[in-house]
Amino acid sequence: MESARRFTTTHQSITFSRRMMLLGLGQAGVGAVLIGRLGWLSVAENEHYQLLSESNRVQLIIVPPRRGWIVDRRNKPIAINRSDFRVDIIPDQLERPAQTLTMLRQLLDLPADDFQRVLDELKAAKGYRPVQVAENVPYENYAAVTVRLPEMSGVQPMRGFSRYYPAGPAVGHLIGYVGAASAAEYEKEKNPLLITPGFKIGKEGLEETLESRLRGVPGGQRVELTARGKLVRELEPKPDRSGGTVQLAIDADLQEFTARRMGEESGSCVIMDCMTGDILAMVSMPAYDPNSFSDGIGRTEWKMLSEDERQPLRNKVLNSLYPPGSTIKPMGALAILKAGIDPSQRINCPGGYQLGNRFFRCLGRHGSVDMRRAIAKSCNTYFYAMGNRIGYDNIAPTAKLLGLGAKFDLPVVSQNYGTVPDSAWKAKKFETNRRVVERPDWTSSDTLNASIGQGFLIVNPLQLAVMAARIASGRNVQPMLLGVHDSPAPLLGFDPKHLETVRGGMWEVVNGDGTAGASRLPLEGIQMSGKTGTAQVRRLSASATRGQGGDWKYRDHGLFVFFAPSDKPRYAGAVVIEHGMGGARAAAPVAKDALTFLFDRQKALASLAGLEQQWGGTLAERTQRRAEAIKAAALGAAAVPRA
């Protein structure tokens, strides 16, 4: 019995020891696994989890870079950055939202739309990332917010930078403006910088096309947070890198003067260096103020601008197309000379040209004229007769050689390049729909119309300026906006005698008894050559008073192409005044004053001062008055109760 108990006890002891050993081995195995996993996490995965921990502890707030400057050919600023004030809210630090927002609304005089935007963004925001309340805050309002900061936890007033255009509307279409990125622009880039409060990208003009050069590299503000997102401290920041400076061929002083000289007209002016192709001025008026657009305009202002019949939102230099009228007669003369016609051959002008049973009228009864005289007096009859003799298929190549119908390699958002027609063009255009015109084949009537700059021929003002520059220099100048160039363009290959004949006719237009004699330069020893043009807006039969008045939108356009000095051309260009009722009346005086500015600034500015007094102030003053009127209209509309 005793031995049985001993056996049982021994057996139980052995069994217990075995179980303990197995349990110990299991525990050791689990321990080994835990130790191995801990070692793996501590060594192999150390960097990964350290980064996760760091990202939870440290948050990087993007600091937008300062935008690169745009300067003119003499390094005068055209688009710069200026210090401004802004107010943000840090959502995590906002303790009394309702009271704080009400106080901010009063101190900053926030419009209802902006106040609602802040409310919406705060609902979606969390953590330490700021929500923009207002930018470009006047110093008085900024100071008022700063004084009340102890009562408004979470409010963060800051000094920053905003885009500024010293010349305002004078460079609106050329430079464009900046604005906050749209949802579509963000989706395209997926760059968090684009949704950072205060960051703006180029929206139009050179600001848009040169975005990659102007943007810069963002910096970062590093802050340490608790697990609940509370700010512990600010760490060493990463500085931003400003965008690059872009130099233009533009002469900023000439650009501003020309914009001011355009006054209240609707139109454009382009002035080039006819040896190198540098664009010295590219003005489209009326224009918007890019400073207002960069700050953000209201719906009322946008509506008024977009509905204005003078189209202040349109870059007329590049995107408006016109029949060139008589401004292309020097081009036609070169084509006539190339076809072998003697420039001394005379054509009798009885007041028009008979083609079949139709009489094509001239601008007057000029009698017997040769080529030079025909250019000076703008005799349609001469160009009707010669154009019909050689055919327009022999004129169109010269038009294209001089830049008409061309699309130039420029850093611009868009350009419409018009049409230089010929028989092949017309056949292709109407081959699929012959009902569009009664006679889809090229006709003699088409030739006569195109020979005086009407019919199917349409061009933009930049092309007219290039045409004038190539006739003036005989060189294949290409219009350029970026950089400053010294090397003359290569020659086009025209016969120098042909060019001399055409230039002689253009000299008589201004300095003889031609159509623009009233626009001679008021400068000793410096003369301008040019060619006036009038472009029909509607058919002669549509109005008995065409070009003589009536509704503004039905008046003819006035055009003028020019170069100076006549004896040694250096500058060339084109002016188009929409509905100006004639090139001599509206366009040539603008060219005269712009060229005077290039040679004698004081004389040109004195003349401009007298004109601006008649117009009721400078361009900046008139723009400011319009902005105030628009703001008053917007406030008045907001005050009217809705039905």
Alpha helices in 71-195 (DSSP H): 97-108, 112-124, 139-147, 172-175, 183-189
User: Shortest CA distance to 535 belongs to which of 471, 455, 415?
Assistant: 455
Q: Which residue has the higher pLDDT, 154 or 259?
A: 259
Q: Report the percentage of the chain scoring pLDDT > 90.
A: 56
Torsion of CA 614, 620, 621, 622, to 10 degrees: 60
Q: What is the pLDDT of residues 108-167, one digit of tens each?
A: 888 887 888 888 888 777 666 678 888 888 888 888 888 888 888 888 887 778 899 999
Count of positions (residues) in the chain: 643
| Tokens 């400011």 -> residue | 624
Task: Give the closest residue to 158 by CA, choosing from 137, 178, 181, 128.
Answer: 137
Residue 216: φ, ψ to 5°:
85, -175
**Cα 589 from Cα 265, distance rounded (Å):** 12
Q: What six digits make up the tokens of 381?
A: 């009859």
CB proximity list for 128: less than 8 A, separation 6 or greater:
59, 61, 90, 91, 92, 93, 223, 225, 229, 231
pLDDT for residue 249 is more than 60 = yes
- Residue 513 CB: number of other CB atoms within 10 A? 10
Residue 239 three-state SS: coil
pLDDT value for 641? 43
Residue 437 has pLDDT above 90, yes or no: no
Give, for 434, the enclosing helix (H) or strand (E): none
- Structural contact between residues 563 and 554, judged by C-beta atoms closer than 8 angstroms: no
Task: Give the per-residue pLDDT at 181.
Answer: 87
Half-sphere CA count of 27, side-chain side, radius 13 A: 6
Report which of 408, 400, 163 is spatially closest to residue 289, judged by C-alpha positions: 163
Number of Cα atoms under 13 Å in the Cβ half of residue 246: 24
Mean pLDDT of 360-381: 96
Checking if the pLDDT of 7 tops 80, the result is no
Q: Mean pLDDT, to the nearest integer, of 353-365?
A: 94
C-alpha closest to that of 443 among 461, 432, 455: 455
Q: Is 52 exposed, middle or buried (0-12, 13-18, 19+ CB in 10 A)?
A: exposed
Structure confidence at residue 546 (pLDDT): 46
Task: Give me the mean pLDDT over the 250-264 stretch.
Answer: 96
Gap between the terminal Cα atoms of the chain: 111
Instruction: Give the span between the Cα atoms of 402 and 363, in whole angstroms.
Output: 26
Cα–Cα distance measured from residue 142 to residue 157, given in angstroms and rounded to the nearest whole number = 7
Using the predicted structure, report yes or no on whether residue 16 has a pLDDT greater than 50: yes
- Two structure tokens written together for 168: 């305002």
What's the mean per-residue pLDDT of the chain? 86
What average pLDDT does the segment 85-100 reach? 82
The DSSP call for residue 519 is: G
The tens digit of pLDDT for each residue in 405-430 reads 999 999 999 999 999 999 999 998 88
Phi and psi angles of residue 281, each rounded to the nearest 5 degrees, phi first: -150, 135
Q: Across residues 482-489, what is the average pLDDT?
A: 97
Distance CA 176, CA 481 (A): 14
Domain boundaries, the chain: 59-247, 252-621
77 pairs with which residues across the strands? 71
What is the mean pLDDT of the segment spanning 91-98? 80
**CATH classification of 252-621, choosing from 3.50.50.100, 3.40.50.300, 3.40.710.10, 3.40.50.2000?**
3.40.710.10
Over residues 156-203, the pLDDT tens digits come to: 887 778 899 999 999 999 999 999 888 888 888 888 888 777 789 999
CB 415 within 8 A of CB 279: no
C-alpha torsion angle, residues 259, 482, 470, 582 (rounded to 10): -20
Q: State the average pLDDT over residues 366-389.
A: 97
Whether pLDDT at 432 is above 70: no
pLDDT of 544 over the 90 cut: no
Where residue 604 falls among pLDDT bands split at 50, 70, 90? very high
Q: Considering the entire predicted model, what is its pTM?
A: 0.84
How high is the pLDDT of residue 636?
A: 62
**What is the rounded CA–CA span in Å between residue 38 and residue 133?**
48
Name the token pair of 410.
């420029």
Distance of CA 407 to the CA centre of its chain: 17
CATH topology (fold) of 59-247: Penicillin-binding protein 2a (Domain 2) (3.90.1310)
Q: How do residues 486-542 score in pLDDT, each as one tens digit? A: 999 999 999 999 999 999 999 999 999 999 999 999 999 999 999 999 998 865 434
